[in-house]
Amino acid sequence: MAKAAKLCQLYGRETPLSATPLQARPQPRKLSGLQTQALVIAEIFILAGLYFCVGKFGLSLAFVNASASAVWPPTGLALAALLLRGRRLWPGVFVGAFLVNITTQGSVSTTLGIATGNTLEAVLGAWLVGRFAGGLKVFDRARTIFAFVLLAAMVSTALSAAFGVTSLCLGGFAQWQQYWTVWWTWWLGDMVGALTVTPLLVIWLAQPAVGLTTKQAPEAAGLLLTVVLVGQIVFRGRNPFSDPNAPLGYAALLPLLWAAFRFGPRGAATTAFIASGIALWGTLHGFGPFVKADTNQSLLFVQAFIGTITVAVLVLAAAVAERKRAEHRLQVQDAVSRILADAPTLREATPKVIQALCERAGWELGAIWHVDRAANELSCVEVWHVPWLSVPQFEATTRQRRFPPGIGLPGRVWTSGKPAWVPDVTTDDNFPRAPVAIQEGLHAAFCFPIRLGEDVLGVIECFSREVREPDENFLQMLTPIGSQLGQFIERKQAEESLRVVLRRYAGDLERQVEERTAKLQDTIRSLDGFCYSIAHDLRAPLRALSGFSAELSQQYAEVLDGPGREYLARIKAAAARMDQLILDLLKFGRLNTVELPVETVPLNALVPEVLEPLEDQIKTQRAEVRLRQPLLPVRANAVVVEQVLTNLLDNALKFVPPSTPPQVEVWTEPRNGMVRLCVRDNGIGIKAEYLKKLFQPFARLVDGTEFPGTGIGLAIVRKGVERMGGRVGVESQVGQGSCFWVELPGEQSVEA
């Protein structure tokens, strides 16, 4: 128990949620048929004796008729006995009822009628509860508690009241005109007896005992003290109002709500029983809000109050317990879901899933088994246990063991496909590892299947060093977890199959890419050679054309008339444009293949160098070029940066309205590890719809006669900047100029 407490403390839980630990005990030996009959007879006599004693107490409070009491605990006793030990104990109810009534008043015939009614009441109530209200689990859920109230506390008790009162009237021990008065007293006494006594006995005897923790014990003592103090105030007249019958009955409900919230159905049933005893004693002694001139009427009122608050707190306790079970189930499922979502493989997920189940449910050791279809057996995949637990032999045996269908706890669950719980594996007939479990002190175990549809892919089992009674709610929670694991396994298998296919296709694709890349490189090299050859062949006649045009202009200019000289000038200009176009095409093509070594380019030195060839144009146009210092350095290819700047500055000087002096401004600014170089002008501007195709080759957006050019300059800018790991853009408004910018890596980004 010390280790169990240590486990609970380690994982922040006062008691395990999945089950209640009991001390390890040997399994009771099976009884022979004769011994079983003797045991049943003994139980019948014990029940009859208890019924007689409790019945005498009840009839001592009979005021409307000697055989009809508003307080009748035997109904609850009989119903609980038949629920716990079976309806075969009905003779004990009959004998006890007969003896308690024959020794009070009446003849044998009337007593037989009363005993028959009491017996039928217990048998019918037990059958109805077992059939429609969950049997011994009747007080676990609010729905079954309401069914218990209707079927056992109201319907079956009406049968006893009818038999009893009718027998009394027929025997002359009650007047017919008093029939309904006596019937009402009889029925209410039986009903409240069922509501107060049956829950107390069934909850305490059908469910394993739970010891209070060190934190719960002071709270339980405080709760008990509060119940007594409130009872003294309400039903002993010790209140500040100096009124022994002050209407304070509602105050008695407060400590019962405390019990329902903090101690569950067991605490609710116990405190309700104690409160009912205090209320009954106070009412009989003339204290409390239910005291009337007629004692029987006082008892009827207080019994109605007791029945009402008992049902209320039982329903509340069941609802709270259901909510806690749902929260626990969601916590476990959420933990498993998180593990499965984060784990890349089943092997990594397996120990974490077992650990989550053990930690959140208060178990100490777990193992997962895989179904080997080829061998038709289960093999252990992984074993996990809490850090302080040492079970080396059991762990080794589990890892080495293999189970065929139906053998051992894993084999049984594999065959049935349903969760199973063994309170003590050391006494189980079908647990081959029992000798090792005995040696290392393992007892309780549960096991559930990992399912995918109807197929069982494996099982998970967990163990405890304590004997634990089965917890049906916990077993129900395991079914969806098993389905989760099955879906995870299916998904991982599908992912692995997909990865295999993708690797195969990736290999094929990589080979195809390599082959096509090699072919493309050969094609590019051939195309480069072809381009250079074409350029050389095209420029040769252009040089001849330019040379002869120049010679003709120098030697025969005086012979030519005005139109002739104009035609000659056009020939020279066309040849120059053609030559420039070929040069630009060569530059553009070379940017696709040429290696571009990167270095630190100081723009504050490079920009003035680029402006030197443009000085004549700047003076002719009366342009103003302003450099905003400092110009930040960039990591790029100096030759390409020079080409980019030349094109941008040439465009800034060229595309201005006639008779407008160009105004150009150049500056740099840091942008997230990059350096943005900006060139702004006061030119004609660009329409928004043209901005997207501005950097495409041969994009001529203005009249070529007014603004001459090849249409490749900005394409060279973009290609060169992108080859150096940068980007290019423009901001422009028609009539207000443009701002072209390029972003290139800065020195800091390279160092980072």
Q: What would the pLDDT profile of 517-558 be if each residue is shown by its tens digit?
A: 888 777 766 665 666 566 556 666 766 676 777 777 777 767
**SS3 state of residue 628:** coil
Model confidence at 711: pLDDT above 70: no
pLDDT value, residue 324: 83
Q: Which CATH architecture has domain 31-207?
A: Orthogonal Bundle (1.10)
More confident residue, 751 or 235: 235
- Is residue 196 within 8 A of residue 307, CB to CB? The reply is yes
Beta bridge partners of 728: 742
Q: φ, ψ for residue 457 (rounded to 5)?
A: -90, -20
Q: What is the dihedral of CA 72, 73, 76, 82, to 10 degrees?
A: -100
Q: What is the mean pLDDT of residues 447-461?
A: 89
Q: Is the pLDDT of residue 25 over 70?
A: no
The Cβ of residue 716 has, within 10 Å, a number of other Cβ atoms equal to 23
Higher pLDDT, 491 or 409: 409
Picking from 125, 145, 120, the residue whose alpha carbon sits closest to that of residue 134 is 145
Q: Is residue 486 within 8 Å of residue 450, measured between CB atoms?
A: yes
- In sequence order, which residues have a C-beta less than 8 Å from that of residue 277 and are 6 or more positions away? none
Q: How far apart are CA 687 and CA 734, in angstroms?
A: 6
pTM of the model: 0.59
Mean pLDDT over residues 581-593, rounded? 58
Cα–Cα distance between 266 and 250 in angstroms, integer? Answer: 22
- Interatomic CA distance for residues 651 and 469, integer angstroms: 90
Residue with structure tokens 């890892």?
A: 399
Residue-wise pLDDT for 631-641, tens only, equals 999 998 888 88
Is the pLDDT at 10 greater than 50? The verdict is no
The CATH code belonging to domain 596-751 is 3.30.565.10
For residue range 634-685, what is the model confidence (pLDDT) as tens digits?
998 888 888 888 888 888 888 888 888 999 999 999 988 899 999 999 988 8
Q: What's the pLDDT score for residue 343?
A: 77
Query: CB of 604 within 8 A of CB of 641?
Result: no
Write down the H helix ranges in 155-243: 156-171, 179-206, 216-235
At residue 708, does pLDDT exceed 70? no
CA 189 to CA 62: how far, in whole Å?
Answer: 10
- Using CA atoms, how far apart are residues 21 and 467, in angstroms rounded to an integer? 6
Does 596-751 match 31-207 at the fold level? no
pLDDT at 752 over 50: no
Convert 495-505 to b/e letters by CB count within 10 Å (16 or more is b): eeeeeeeeeee
Tell me the two tokens of residue 550: 């120049």
Domain ranges across the chain = 31-207, 211-329, 343-470, 596-751
Question: Residue 6: pLDDT above 50?
Answer: no
Scanning 556-621, the segments in alpha helix (DSSP H) are 562-593, 603-611, 615-620
CATH top class, domain 343-470: alpha beta
Residue 495 is predicted with a pLDDT of 79
Residue 151 in this model has a pLDDT that exceeds 80: yes
Report in angstroms the alpha-carbon separations of 36 from 30, 50, 91, 331: 9, 21, 16, 44
pLDDT surpassing 50 at residue 364: yes
Q: What is the mean pLDDT of residues 697-719?
A: 65
Indicate whether 357 pLDDT > 60.
Answer: yes
Q: First CA to last CA across the chain, in angstroms?
A: 59
Write phi, then psi, for 133 (nearest 5 degrees): -125, 20
User: Is the per-residue pLDDT at 295 higher than 70?
Assistant: yes
Which stretches of 60-155 are DSSP H helices?
A: 74-85, 90-102, 108-132, 142-148
3-state SS assignment for residue 660: coil
Whole-number Å distance between alpha carbons of 598 and 744: 11
> 3-class secondary structure for 434-494?
HHHHHHHCCCCEEEEEEEECCEEEEEEEEECCCEECCCHHHHHHHHHHHHHHHHHHHHHHH
Q: Please give the average per-residue pLDDT across 391-395, as a whole number.
A: 93
Q: Which of 252, 153, 163, 139 has its CA nearest to residue 193?
A: 153
pLDDT band at 20 (very low <50, low <70, confident <90, very high): very low
Residue 9 and residue 107: Cα distance in Å, rounded? 63
Nearest-angstrom CA–CA distance, 535 and 331: 76
pLDDT at 540: 64
Given the DSSP bridges, would you call strands 467-468 and 599-601 parallel, antiparallel or unpaired? unpaired
Interatomic CA distance for residues 573 and 517, integer angstroms? 42
SS (HEC) of 702-739: CCCCCCCCCCCHHHHHHHHHHHCCCEEEEEEECCCEEE
pLDDT at 747: 78
Predicted pLDDT of residue 75: 96
Q: Is the pLDDT of residue 699 over 80?
A: no
pLDDT band at 248 (very low <50, low <70, confident <90, very high): confident
Q: How many CB atoms lie within 10 A of CB 703?
A: 8
**What burial letters (b/e) apply to 453-482, b meaning 16+ CB within 10 Å?**
eeebbbbbbbbbbbbbebbebbbebbeebb
Cα 108 from Cα 171, distance rounded (Å): 10
Average pLDDT rounded to a whole number, residues 391-410 = 93
pLDDT at 735: 84
pLDDT in tens, 108-139: 999 999 999 999 999 999 999 999 998 988 99
pLDDT for the residue numbered 709:
56
pLDDT 10s digits, 57-102: 999 999 999 999 999 999 999 999 999 999 999 999 999 999 999 9
Q: State the chain's mean pLDDT as an integer.
A: 83
Mean pLDDT on 720-726: 86
Model pLDDT, residue 664: 92
Reported as type and span, the H/E element at residue 381 is strand 377-385
- Name 635's bridge partners: 600
- pLDDT of 169 reads 93
Q: Is 202 helix (H, G, I), strand (E, B) or coil?
A: helix
Picking from 156-170, 329-343, 559-573, 737-751, which range would have the lowest pLDDT averaged per residue? 559-573
Please give the radius of gyration of the chain, using alpha carbons only, rounded to the nearest integer.
49
3-state secondary structure of 133: coil
Band (306; pLDDT cuts 50, 70, 90): very high
Identify any residues that bridge with 741 across adjacent strands, giving them in sequence order.
Answer: 678, 729
| 522 burial type by CB count under 10 A (0-12 exposed, 13-18 middle, 19+ buried) | exposed
